[in-house]
Structure 1
Amino acid sequence: MHTFTSDSLTLQVTEHGPEDGEPIVLLHGFPQDSTSWTAVAEILAEAGFRVLAPNLRGYSPGARPSGRAAYGSNQLVSDVVALFDAKGLDTAHVVGHDWGGALLWTLRKTHPHRIASATVISTPHPAALAWSFTHSTQALRSWYIAAIALPAVPELFLRHRLAQFIGSTGLPADRAQYYQNRMQEPGAATATLNWYRQMMIEQIRPPQRPVRVGKTAPPPTAYVWGSSDAFYTRAVAERTSHVVRDLTFSEEIEGGHWLPETHPAELAAAIRRQVESNASR
């Protein structure tokens, strides 16, 4: 495990593959960490790619600042940019799952010049998600977001009931228990929940974005989703293809929400397809 710094915080990153390989950055979701990508990263590294999988803000023990505002989208974006800079990457292919996917939708808007290609896993485009709340049953699947915004109670849930909940949505039991154990670390539960809590604030008061420089066209973007995702409806997944009209491809995998851990071979193949069609070398 290596480290890099961002905003005086120390974040962890795992590295796989040759240093001169085409770089791929893998962004994990909630309540996961970089280990969710291990199987995918090993497949990609075997194919000759350089793969970086960070433990994001809140998930790295040295990057759990206090206060909800420290987990704003601008701060999360700056952490990814700091990783690029620390590793000497002008550009990289970025893959994001779940919250990592939400972060990637933002990155492709704020820093398109740094992204060689984007592959979003599971998480629909924000405009598609907004549409789905009034045109499908998506609101029923997103009930937990409002519950997470409550004080104190969600922390207890993560420490004592998380494994049962995410295990019931298709994540293997050993992995579910691993993530619950991670929430026992000092500050971990509150830090990870602050992603949700700050998001609720930003829905009401959108943050100011830094002025973009250089390339402004969005990078080539692919969307991969599971046919039986417990958190997102088919309607919102399909809507993403209408909202993002220039998708490189939209691919449905016969699986659920936790594709990096349940379907690593299929997911690695989709990532490789996107990267190789947009390789810089």
Structure 2
Amino acid sequence: MTQAVMQFCKTESLTIAYEHHGPGNGTPVILLHGFPYSPRAYDEIAPPLAAKGYRVIVPYLRGYGPTRFNSPDTLRSGQQAALAQDLLDLMDSLDIEQATLCGYDWGGRAACIVAALFPERVRGLVTGDGYNLQDIPNSVQPLDPQSEHRYWYQYYFHTPRGVEGLTQNRRALCELLWQLWSPTWGRNAERYPLSAPAFDNPDFVEVVIHSYRHRFMYALGDPALEWMEQALEKQPAISVPTISLCGADDGVGPASADDEDAHHFTGPYERRVLAGVGHNIPEEAPGETLKALLDLLQR
């Protein structure tokens, strides 16, 4: 298996750290982690892709690992449009015109947004848990009580107490989320310490808090990204070839019996529900994730 090489690219807002696997002239594949995770989620996926000749890019999202903002004056936004713009900027910086994208949680949101708004940039999409675009105007509507209970951490982050709790206890809190979100996975204790250092980024808390406040309209977004947020309010369809991987044991949102997201996908689309898998899909189910990627890449 090929070894990852840590590299950096500078965009308008960020200096993005990313792990590069495989030949520089290979077909591009970008693998995107979520909250609170890291590129370690793809440790069993990136090397075999690289061994097949693909150019594999695994970035640290804003607020994680060695990725840094270029200016102290830049809003430490965690809004969905910022994550998508970072992905576009990364692709532009690396001269990647089109890539196959794989992401879950925050990374899945970035991938879905780019696929929806810039389909010419996306050859194929593997998305964790379906259509990940936030419907922010309707976020004030309460969900069923069980779902509200599972979102406790989001409401916690809306409070000063939550900010201080994440600041003081970021590793313990994130480890708890791993346990709650992947309740049937036997490798939490083994794998969590490999990702936890990524949360020591100086912007981690501010980016996380902004993310969970903006999605409920409790924080203003970046004015430069307002055009994208307005486009996302229309909940645009995704037309690129897509495979949705859903964890049957996901502690954030267990896979429903019916595919409630199918109408958002207008191109070739398939949903695969993974038994015994929680929220951390690529790390819990690397074989299934790799297969989904290859199914798209080899079409």
The normalised TM-score by structure 1 is 0.83
Match of 2:239 among 198, 218, 224: 218
Written as runs of structure 1 = structure 2, the 5 A alignment for 1:1-281 is 1-64=6-69, 70-122=77-129, 124-126=131-133, 134=143, 137-151=146-160, 152=163, 153-170=165-182, 172-201=188-217, 207-209=226-228, 218-235=239-256, 238-254=259-275, 255-277=277-299
- The CA deviation at 1:168 is 4.2
Q: Distance in 1 between matches of 2:90 and 2:35?
A: 20
Number of residues paired by the alignment? 274
Q: Structure 2: which 5+ runs fail to align?
A: 1-5, 232-236
Q: C-alpha distance in 2, partners of 1:211/1:230? A: 30
Tell me, yes or no, if the aligned pair for 2:248 and 2:278 is still in contact at 8 Å: yes
Q: How has the CA–CA distance of structure 1 residues 256 and 159 changed in structure 2, closer, same or farther, with 3 Å as cutoff?
A: closer
Distance 1:155 1:236 in 2: 38
Answer with 127-136 or 58-67: which moved more.
127-136
2-structure distance, mates of 1:253, 1:150 = 35
Structure 1 residues 188 and 204: alpha-carbon distance in aligned structure 2, compared to 1, 3 A threshold? closer
- Given that residues 134 and 215 in structure 2 are in contact (C-alpha distance below 8 angstroms), is that contact kept between their aligned partners in structure 1? no
Moved more, 54-63 or 173-182: 173-182
> Structure 1: where are the runs of 5+ without partners?
none
- Supply the distance in 2 between the matched residues of 1:239 and 1:32 (Cα, whole angstroms): 26
Deviation digits for residues 195-233 of structure 1, max 9, x if unmatched?
A: 223333389989322999xxx973222211111111113
Q: Give the superposition deviation at 1:133.
A: 6.0
CA contact (8 A) 2:150 2:252 kept: yes
CA–CA distance in 1 between the matches of 2:258 and 2:209?
A: 24
Cα pair 2:239 2:265 within 8 Å, conserved: no
After superposition, the C-alpha distances for 1:67-87 in whole angstroms (9 at most, x for unaligned) are 756333333222211211222
Q: Deviations over 1:133-163 (max 9, x none)?
A: 6578433322322222323233334243322
Bigger fraction of residues in helix: 1
CA contact (8 A) 1:158 1:183 kept: yes
* Segment of structure 1 superposing worse, 173-182 or 52-61: 173-182
**What secondary structure sits across from 2:181 in the alignment?**
coil
Can you list the C-alpha shifts for 1:220-274, whole angstroms capped at 9, x where unaligned?
A: 2221111111111322872112443545211112211112112111210111112
Aligned mates of 2:219, 2:267 — CA distance in 1? 26
Q: Percent identity?
A: 23
Letter in 1 for 2:11: S
**1:8 shift after superposition:** 4.0
Distance 1:201 1:211 in 2: 13
Distance 1:10 1:161 in 2: 27
Would you say the 8 A contact 1:3–1:11 is kept in 2? yes
CA distance in 2, matches of 1:32, 1:247: 29
Separation in 2, partners of 1:135, 1:236? 16
